[in-house]
């Protein structure tokens, strides 16, 4: 079975997974991590306002990608797939990004639709869960967009029923609505209204009938778990498959939104690159928790360390 490399370049971060693909007795595929890494490059900083990828953001991304390329070659990856999401979908100078990737990685980046992004996140997220806990709604709150996908595990394989992406994420919402440090109560209320209004489209497109389990993936949600657990440093083993109640999420969001930057930066589980945007991310998750309770009676979030990276890796296995 092959050794594969997956790269996910989002609005806020760029991440690498090198993994060995194995086959289970029932024929389903499994991944064994060889190397997993994340860097905050803020590729999409300012894109919501300007429509352009900034030169310094492109350079930060190039440096990280050059390092990743060296790692995946050293580790002997036989197949590579790089996916670029929200920021590049929206940028007028996206060809500058594509050319940089081609020159650095030696292959093209794929700009996938929000719906495909959601589907890959689902496939990656539910691999460690029990089929009888489904159907699942998997949520990925990124820097520029939020994806919702509903599906099930059937005979060891993920089956997606519906998926939708909307343009609200931690970076976009911070830049649009939360300029203060900390933001004012009026700005927080306005941001909540904006997030809820945008998420209406996602819930209209993704029916929640019969959904039993809410699964959250990617950096905003995994960070919230670490903060809620008051971890002295981020610990993926403590975060993976942890559970947060609706009350936990509301409390943590409220605390983060009133903290000044200095206090947020002192939280051990919070990556420095998320300090400026985690309040907006937490607010989006809090809105999601409220909506999922009202629409599907769900009161608990299961946090998964496995996400779109794992889905990308499985797609080239």
What is the distance between the alpha carbons of residues 131 and 114, in angstroms, rounded to a whole number? 25
- On whether residue 317 sits in a domain, the answer given is no
Residues 82 and 138 in one domain: no
Q: Is the pTM of this model over 0.85?
A: no
Residues 145 and 184 in one domain: yes
Give the 3-state DSSP-derived string for 94-107, with helices as H, strands as E and coil as C: HHHHHHHHHHHHCC
Choose one of 56, 89, 114: the last residue of a domain: 114
Residues 83 and 148 in one domain: no
CATH number, domain at 244?
3.30.420.150
Over the stretch 80-131, which tens digit does the pLDDT of each residue have? 999 987 678 778 898 999 999 999 999 999 988 767 777 787 888 887 888 8
- On whether residue 196 sits in a domain, the answer given is yes
What is the distance between the alpha carbons of residues 77 and 4, in angstroms, rounded to a whole number? 5
Residues 298 and 211 in one domain: yes
- On whether residue 32 sits in a domain, the answer given is yes
Residues 135 and 105 in one domain: no
The three-class DSSP label of residue 126 is coil
- On whether residue 225 sits in a domain, the answer given is yes
Q: Are 117 and 186 in contact (CB under 8 A)?
A: no
Over the stretch 131-183, which tens digit does the pLDDT of each residue have? 899 899 999 898 888 989 999 988 767 788 998 888 889 989 999 999 889 99
Choose one of 114, 140, 161: the last residue of a domain: 114
| Domain count along the chain | 2
Give the pLDDT band (50/70/90) at residue 317.
confident
Q: Are 308 and 81 in contact (CB under 8 A)?
A: no
- On whether residue 74 sits in a domain, the answer given is yes
**H-helix or E-strand spanning residue 305:** none
More confident site: 54 or 28:
54
Residues 46 and 153 in one domain: no
CATH number, domain at 86?
3.30.420.40
- On whether residue 313 sits in a domain, the answer given is no
pLDDT the model gives residue 122: 83
> In whole numbers, what is the pLDDT of the chain averaged over residues?
90
Which among 119, 143, 139 has a CA at the least distance from the CA of 15? Answer: 143
Range of the domain at 22: 3-114
Residues 137 and 275 in one domain: yes
- Beta pairing class for 79-84 and 29-40: unpaired
Choose one of 85, 114, 143: the last residue of a domain: 114
Over the stretch 235-282, which tens digit does the pLDDT of each residue have? 999 999 999 999 999 999 999 999 999 999 999 999 888 999 999 999
- On whether residue 315 sits in a domain, the answer given is no
28 Cβ contact partners less than 8 Å away, ≥ 6 residues apart: 156, 157
């Amino acid at each position: 079975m092959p050794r594969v490399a997956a790269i996910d370049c989002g609005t806020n971060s760029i991440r690498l997974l090198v993994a060995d693909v194995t086959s289970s007795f029932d024929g389903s595929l499994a991944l064994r991590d060889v190397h997993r890494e994340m860097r905050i490059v803020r590729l999409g900083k300012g894109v919501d306002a300007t429509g352009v990828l900034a030169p310094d953001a492109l350079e930060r991304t190039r440096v990280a990608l050059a390092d990743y390329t060296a790692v995946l070659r050293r580790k002997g990856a036989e197949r590579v797939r790089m996916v670029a999401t929200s920021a590049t979908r929206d940028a007028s100078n996206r060809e500058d990004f594509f050319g940089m990737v081609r020159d650095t990685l030696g292959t093209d980046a794929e700009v996938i639709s929000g719906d495909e992004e959601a589907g890959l996140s689902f496939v990656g997220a539910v691999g460690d869960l029990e089929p009888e806990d489904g159907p699942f709604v998997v949520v990925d709150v990124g820097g520029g967009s939020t994806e919702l996908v509903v599906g099930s595990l059937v005979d060891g394989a993920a089956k997606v029923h519906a998926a939708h992406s909307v343009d609200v994420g931690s970076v976009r919402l911070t830049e649009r609505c939360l300029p203060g440090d900390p933001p004012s109560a009026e700005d927080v209320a306005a941001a909540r209204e904006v997030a809820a209004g945008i998420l209406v489209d996602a819930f209209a497109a993704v029916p929640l009938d019969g959904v039993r389990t809410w699964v959250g993936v990617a950096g905003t949600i995994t960070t919230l778990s670490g903060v809620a657990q008051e971890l002295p440093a981020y610990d993926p083993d403590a975060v993976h498959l942890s559970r947060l109640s609706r009350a936990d999420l509301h409390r943590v969001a409220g605390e983060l939104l009133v903290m000044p930057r200095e206090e947020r930066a002192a939280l051990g589980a919070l990556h420095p690159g998320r300090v400026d945007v985690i309040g907006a991310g937490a607010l989006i998750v809090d809105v999601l928790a409220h909506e999922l309770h009202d629409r599907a009676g769900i009161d608990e979030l299961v946090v998964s360390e496995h996400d779109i990276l794992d889905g990308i890796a499985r797609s080239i296995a």
